[in-house]
Amino acid sequence: MRRNGNTGVPRPTALVAVACVAAVMVLAMPASAVTSLEGYSDLMLELTSGKGGDPTWQLGNPRLYAEFRLKSSPWTDIDTFLKVSAESDRWAEGGDYKDTKLFFREAHMRFRGRRVEAHLFTGQDRFWLNEPLLAIVDQGVVKHDDWGVRAQGVRLDFWDVFGFHGAAFYSERSDYASKGFIDMLDELEYYPGATEADTVSSSTDDYRGFRLNRHFLGDRALFGTTYARKDFNETAFHGSSGSYDEVVALDSELALGEVVPFLSRFGRVTWATEYGYNNSGGLDDSDDSGVAGFKTEIRDIRAGPIRLLASYGDYGERFYTDRLASWDRCNLNGYTKYYAEAHYRVSRKAINLKYWTFKEEPKDYSTSEYGMRQEWGTEAYVEFVNGFTGKAEYKVHENRDGIWPNLFFEKTGSSSCARSSVSGTSIPSTRLRRTDSRRTST
């Protein structure tokens, strides 16, 4: 969904229009098509008293909302979906602008074949790639839902095609288009050379992602690759130079417990590794340092009732880009990270115990903004009779600013008539201070 840059009024994009036309075509299908229309509406009123000195209770400011979902499967391998909504504050008191608005919320058309599935969609989150370790592209970044999900695009999934499995998506993400700067005069000073006749095109971004993998040795080994790219404009007015962020990764996975005989006593013992490289257009070609990322992990280790996992990661200062990866991943740039985890299941009891610890150490303490970060914690999860469960967690996080202990507990339960949940957390009002003796100054 796009927004007009001057008024902010939503208007349907091209893909929404295509989805609407598709829905109309579906309605014209023969009666053999499986079609359903669902929806609901609600009315919200304010109950007030004492307004203007009047002690009586009054109902006012009605707001109406309605939502409809149209689903249709005209053929076995094709289905369509369209969701629209309407809201109105026409009868609300006060305010200079009242209106009834119609919104195209989301839509898709899906085709499923023997080894392939394709989606044409808008307003939906279909940007995941099953990348094992580095997560170079995050669907939360691509789906663009800061003002509601607005991303749109095409997604293709395939499996068992000459032994290969994979997925690909292309997303067009535009915020708004304006006829010019005439109603945005404050923007002119930020873009030297722009005039009132220039077309504003804010965040006209294109995303593309691709994942391909293949199993070998009867699913004992796997090799794959992941690619992600975002094309964007560096300035706001039409005709400006373009740029892009681009990251590629290679990964492998090997079941050591099924390949090396003496390791089979410890379970599958999966060893996974991934290496990534940032090839973004904004990087300095004369200096390729700090653009690579690496992570290796060993998991599925069993020693009786205990399960173990450990990993190591090394991330360059410019490996992750915030236009593709999540915020917490970008915070790993310039760090090495060690992580270990253990699970213990109490015999004949529905009790699971967990312990974890990690340490994130900057490669250069003198330039690091956050310094060293480390954490350890324990967790107990218990299943009681009659559908009740309980969870208690205690962890201690340490960073440059101090030591932060935290205690959390939760109890949930349900029956055929009701469901209850109680949770709580305890955070000390004062933190334990510490001084990092390895921190240096410049």
Within 10 angstroms of residue 306's Cβ, the number of other Cβ atoms is 12
Mean pLDDT of the chain: 78
* pLDDT given for residue 268 in this prediction: 93
Q: Are 276 and 131 in contact (CB under 8 A)?
A: no
* pLDDT given for residue 171 in this prediction: 87
Q: Are 181 and 194 in contact (CB under 8 A)?
A: yes
Contacts of 278-282 with C-beta under 8 Å, sequence gap 24+, read 278/245, 278/246, 278/247, 278/316, 278/318, 278/319, 278/320, 278/321, 279/246, 279/247, 279/248, 280/244, 280/245, 280/246, 280/247, 280/321, 281/243, 281/244, 281/245, 281/246, 282/243, 282/245
Residue 239 pLDDT exceeds 80: no
Work out the pLDDT band at 236, boundaries 50, 70, 90. Answer: very low
* pLDDT given for residue 122 in this prediction: 86
345 vs 95, residue with greater confidence: 345
To the nearest whole percent, how much of the chain has pLDDT over 90? 39
250 vs 371, residue with greater confidence: 250
Residue 61 pLDDT exceeds 60: yes
186 vs 154, residue with greater confidence: 154
* pLDDT given for residue 340 in this prediction: 97
Question: pTM value?
Answer: 0.75
Burial category of 118 from C-beta neighbours within 10 Å (exposed 0-12, middle 13-18, buried 19 and up) = middle
* pLDDT given for residue 428 in this prediction: 53
Work out the pLDDT band at 102, boundaries 50, 70, 90. Answer: confident
Q: Are 270 and 298 in contact (CB under 8 A)?
A: yes
Residue 132 pLDDT exceeds 80: yes
Q: Are 398 and 434 in contact (CB under 8 A)?
A: yes
> Which tokens in the block code for residue 80?
């369509």
> Which tokens in the block code for residue 65?
């909302």
pLDDT in tens, 155-196: 999 999 999 999 999 987 665 444 443 444 444 444 455 555
Q: Out of 107-116, 117-126, 180-189, which region has the weakest mean confidence (pLDDT)?
A: 180-189
For the chain, domain boundaries: 1-47+60-113
pLDDT in tens, 263-282: 999 999 999 999 999 988 77
Over residues 121-139, mean pLDDT: 89
* pLDDT given for residue 139 in this prediction: 85
Work out the pLDDT band at 287, boundaries 50, 70, 90. Answer: low
What is d(CA 134, CA 324) in angstroms, rounded to the nearest whole number? 12
133 to each of 147, 296, 377, how far by Cα in Å?
A: 30, 8, 22
**Does residue 27 come out as left (phi exceeding 0), alpha (psi in the -120 to 50 range) or beta?**
alpha
Over residues 358-381, mean pLDDT: 90
Within 10 angstroms of residue 181's Cβ, the number of other Cβ atoms is 22
pLDDT in tens, 300-345: 999 988 999 999 999 999 899 988 998 889 999 999 999 999 999 9
Q: Out of 244-253, 309-318, 352-361, 414-423, which region has the weakest mean confidence (pLDDT)?
A: 414-423
The closest of 424, 431, 381, 423 to 405, measured between CA atoms, is 431
Work out the pLDDT band at 140, boundaries 50, 70, 90. Answer: confident
* pLDDT given for residue 356 in this prediction: 96
Only one residue has tokens 């090839």, namely 279
What is d(CA 351, CA 344) in angstroms, rounded to the nearest whole number? 8
pLDDT in tens, 69-88: 999 888 888 999 999 998 88
Residue count of the chain = 442
Over residues 104-116, mean pLDDT: 90
